[in-house]
Amino acid sequence: MSRTYRFLIVDVFTDVPLAGNQLAVFTDARGLSDEQMQVLAREIGFSETTFVLPAERGGDIRMRIFTPVRELPFAGHPTLGTAFALAGPLQSVVMRIETGAGTVPVVLEREGAKLVFGRMTQPLPTVASYPSPGKLFAALGVSDSLLPVEVYDNGVPHLYVELGSDAEVVALAPDFSALGDLVGQTGVNCFAVDGTRVKTRMFAPELGVFEDPATGSAAGPLALHLARHGRIAWGDEIIISQGAEIGRPSTLYACAEGGADGVTTVEVGGSAVVVARGEFSV
């Protein structure tokens, strides 16, 4: 016999509907198998879909995250969007979300009864150099990176290529086939910096996401990358613009606390809006 599973659609890293990064949130996924979750994520086709389950490690909820092709231990916009989807009716101020990469607290801000902003403390990423990036540059159609190309992994690996201007970022037209062969399931983030304002685009064809409108899992490591290399001070908040090239303008806020001895905290924030409700019979 089939069961009905309700879901919400949330636009994340935006405060207006039909922008930002789309997310489907199944608010009670008890009874769904791993295979059914993956099929539902593929059916919906967003960069990620989340499935909410009872907490197991002292959090408020447990969350599983699926792209159209695989499960992820952590991702940013699913974490923030799921908090917005559930915290309204729960009247929560802090939601502790259990993920495959640990429990992620999300602090939520309200204006009256309305949720207006959320800020998550992300898992601290590992950092590794990306050797011999020449083929990567060729696949992106760029000549070089202004900072060393490094890979940060907080549950989702991301590498970073700095270009000289917003216009260079906008003009990117990657060879997705070559890019996927080179980096596999690592997100490729190309960005340009102007003070604490950052223009970025993220490509992950092997994750089923040719270009992502807003990448929360990459935003925190990007702040860390800039702080480690002296482009911003530790604790400075960067404002990231992403997604306009695919018609989903998004704004993300990120900062990294730390110093010469290393990073202590990585935070990413933004807004989100619930735009639709529906149900699947499975």
Delineate the domains of the chain, giving CATH numbers in brackets: 4-120+271-281 (3.10.310.10), 126-269 (3.10.310.10)
Say whether 185 sits in a helix, a strand or coil: coil
Angle between helices 216-228 and 76-90 (to 10 degrees): 120
Per-residue pLDDT at 91 exceeds 80: no
**Residue 215 CB-density burial (10 A; 0-12 exposed, 13-18 middle, 19+ buried):** buried
CA 262 to chain centre: 23
Say whether 217 sits in a helix, a strand or coil: helix
The residues, any chain, with a CB within 8 Å of residue 84's CB and separated by 6 or more, are: 10, 12, 108, 115, 118, 272, 273, 274
What confidence category does residue 81 fall into, taking pLDDT thresholds of 50, 70 and 90?
Answer: very high
Say whether 38 sits in a helix, a strand or coil: helix
Per-residue pLDDT at 220 exceeds 90: yes
* Mean pLDDT for the chain overall: 96
pLDDT value, residue 89: 63
Q: Which residues of 91-130 are buried (b: 16+ CB within 10 A; e: fewer)?
A: ebeebbbbbebbbbbbbbeeeeeebebbbbebbbbeeeeb
pLDDT in tens, 62-71: 999 999 999 9
**pTM above threshold 0.85:** yes
Per-residue pLDDT at 128 exceeds 80: yes
> CA 85 to CA 125: how far, in whole Å?
26
Q: Is 48 a catalytic residue?
A: yes
pLDDT value, residue 90: 66
Per-residue pLDDT at 92 exceeds 90: no
Per-residue pLDDT at 36 exceeds 80: yes
User: By the 8 A CB rule, do 172 and 190 touch?
Assistant: yes
* Angle, alpha carbons 90-95-98 (nearest 5°): 120
pLDDT value, residue 147: 98
Say whether 253 sits in a helix, a strand or coil: strand
Catalytic residue, chosen from 35, 43, 48, 111, is 48
Instruction: Name the residue among 218, 209, 265, 264 with its Cα closest to residue 240.
Output: 218
Per-residue tokens: 151: 């890979």
User: Strands 94-99, 61-66: parallel, antiparallel or unpaired by DSSP?
Assistant: parallel
The residues, any chain, with a CB within 8 Å of residue 116's CB and separated by 6 or more, are: 15, 109, 110, 271
